[in-house]
Structure 1
Amino acid sequence: MFHHISIAVDHPLHVANVLAEVMQGSCFPFPPHPGSYMVIVDDGYGTGIELYPADTQLIPEPEQVGFSSGTAQTFMSVHAALSVSVSQEQIVQIADREGWLARLCDRHAFKVIELWVENKFMLELLTPEMAKEYLQFAHTAGYEAFLRQAAPQLVEA
C-alpha cells in the first residue's frame, strides 16, 4: 500500500492547496526541504503528497535522503492514482479554475479522471464510483482476465 508520494512542481504551496481541496485534506509546510509542502488526508491510511520546488532532486546522502537542486522537468514518468470523495464535476471545476487539463478517460477495466497538475504531472483521480470499478480490477485475477482479453499473446498457456 502506498502511503505518500512526492512530486516536484513549479508552485508548491499553490499546488498543495489545490490538491488539499481535491483530496479533502489539509496543507502543511514540509520542514525538511524549505519551500515544500505536505498534503495530509485523514483517511486512516496516512495518505499524503509532498510538493517540492520544480528543480528538486532526491539524493542518497550518507545517513538518509537529501535534497538538491537540478534542472526542472517538463513532463514526468511518474503518476499516481488516488481515490477522492469529490465528484467529477467538482474536479473539472477546480481544474478549469487553475487552467489545468482534466479529462475523463476509459482505461477499459475502469475509468479515471486525468488531472494534469500544472499541466505536467498526471494524477489519476477516482471518484467513489470509479474506485469501485478499479477495486474490482486491481487484483491478480482481475489483471490476468484483463490480459487474456487485451493481450492474449502475453498470457502463459
Structure 2
Amino acid sequence: MIFHVSIDADDPQHVAEVIAELWDGQATPFPPVIEGSWVALAGDDRNTIIEVYPRGTELVPGDGDADAHGIPGAPDRRSATHIAIATRLDATSVFAIAEREGWLAKYRKRGGVFGVIEFWIEGSRMIEVLTPAMQGEYLAAMTVEGWNGLLASLGIARQAPVMA
C-alpha cells in the first residue's frame, strides 16, 4: 500500500490545489523538504498524500542523523514516474477541470481491461484519474491472478523468483 508519493511541478501550490480538488481534499504548504513545496491531502481513510515540490527538486540524504531534504536540481519536464489516483468525481467533471487548466486529458482503456483518464499536469506529468466506475474495473482486473492471466493471454510466461 502506498501512503504518499512526491512529484515536481512548475507551480507546486496550484498543482496541489488541483489534485486536492480531484479528491475533494485540501492543499497546504509543505515546508519540511524544500521551500515552495505544497501537499495535497485526500482526507481519505488512509490519509493519502501527494507532495508537490518545485520542478527539478532532487531528494538527498541528510548528514548524520538529519532527515532527507530537497535541493534544487536540473528541471526535467518529462518522467516515467506517474501515479493513478481515485476520485469521487465523474468523468465529465474531471475533463472540465483539465479544460479549465488548459491541460490535456483523455480517456484510455488500459489493455482493454480498465479505463483511466490521462490527466497531464502542466502538460508534462501524467496522473491517471479513476472515477468510481473505473476504480471498480481496476480493482477487479489488477489482482495477482488477474495480472498473471493477462500475461498468459499474451503468451508471456511469469518469471520464477530468483533463489539465492
TM over 0.5: yes
Deviations 1:91-114 (A, max 9, x none): 100001111010000102211000
Deviation at 1:154, TM superposition (A): 2.9
Is the CA contact 1:109–1:146 (under 8 Å) kept in the aligned structure 2?
no
**Alpha-carbon distance between aligned partners in 1 of 2:6 and 2:47, rounded to the nearest angstrom:** 14
Aligned to 2:139: 135
Deviation at 1:115, TM superposition (A): 0.3
Deviations 1:57-91 (A, max 9, x none): 11122332111111111201100011110111011
> Which runs of 5 or more structure 1 residues have no equivalent in the other structure?
none
- Scaled by the length of structure 1, the TM-score of the pair is 0.94
Aligned to 2:45: 44
For residue 89 of structure 1, what is the amino acid of its counterpart? T
The number of equivalent residue pairs is 155
- Scaled by the length of structure 2, the TM-score of the pair is 0.90
Aligned to 2:152: 148
Where 2:35 maps in the other structure, the secondary structure is: coil
Deviations 1:7-59 (A, max 9, x none): 01000111111111111110111021211111111111111111111021111
C-alpha RMSD over aligned residues: 1.1
Q: Percent identity among equivalent residues? A: 37
For residue 134 of structure 2, what is the amino acid of its counterpart? M
* Paired residues for 1:63-102 under 5 Å: 63-102=66-105
For residue 35 of structure 1, what is the amino acid of its counterpart? G
For residue 57 of structure 1, what is the amino acid of its counterpart? E
